[in-house]
Amino acid sequence: MFDIIKKFVADLSAAQEPEVFIHDKIQLAEAALMYHVIAVDGVIRDEEKSRMAELLSRQFGLNEEETKSLSIEAKTAEHEAIDLYKFTSILKRALNEEERIKIIEHLWEMVFADGVLHELEDNVVWRIAELLAVDSRNRVLLKQRVWKRNSQETTPIALSLKSND
């Protein structure tokens, strides 16, 4: 009996996941990281939720209903996760360097969506970049690029480094 179960588990691990399922895992992992970034400072603002929905919709070609569903799943997955590795390991295995860099850019979009750079948001993007093997130089350049783009697209916003202290 034990050998049958052992063979069944081995067969499951050896089987390749369908591409659609892998794609869904990538979407959920990125969305959960986005949600984590907007929630880490303890305040989730409408601007952050809107920016997240916009990026997810554009990134994955989702309609409004699909985007809303993914956002809800991301919130649940993020709350159930013990750490960030659950999501970053999926992305690191499945994506190339350019795609992982794009995720860090999206996370900076989340950070600057409300016009406030909170030190916890900054720190969590740094940790995620490390887990995704995105080097410090790229992380800082992306931060500057997104900040500049956001400050040009809107009326001048006051970006400040805030803490909860």
pLDDT, one tens digit per residue, over 112-131 is 998 888 899 999 999 999 99
The DSSP annotation for the chain comes to -HHHHHHHHHHHHHSPPPHHHHHHHHHHHHHHHHHHHHHTTS---HHHHHHHHHHHHHHHT--HHHHHHHHHHHHHHHHH-SSTHHHHHHHHHHS-HHHHHHHHHHHHHHHHTTS-EEHHHHHHHHHHHHHTT--HHHHHHHHHHHHHHHHHHSS-----EE---
In one-letter notation, the amino acid at residue 157 is: I
pTM of the model: 0.79
Q: How far is CA 154 from the centre of its chain?
A: 23
pLDDT, one tens digit per residue, over 83-112 is 999 999 999 999 999 999 999 999 999 999
To the nearest whole number, what is the mean pLDDT of the chain? 83
Q: Is the pLDDT of residue 11 over 60?
A: no
Q: What pLDDT does residue 116 have?
A: 82
CATH T-level assignment (fold) for domain 2-162: TerB-like (1.10.3680)
pLDDT, one tens digit per residue, over 26-56 is 999 999 999 999 999 998 999 999 999 999 9
Q: What pLDDT does residue 150 have?
A: 83
Q: What pLDDT does residue 64 have?
A: 93
With contact defined as beta carbons under 8 Å apart, do 99 and 146 qualify? Answer: no
CA distance 28 to 91: 10
* Structure-block tokens of residue 148: 């500049």
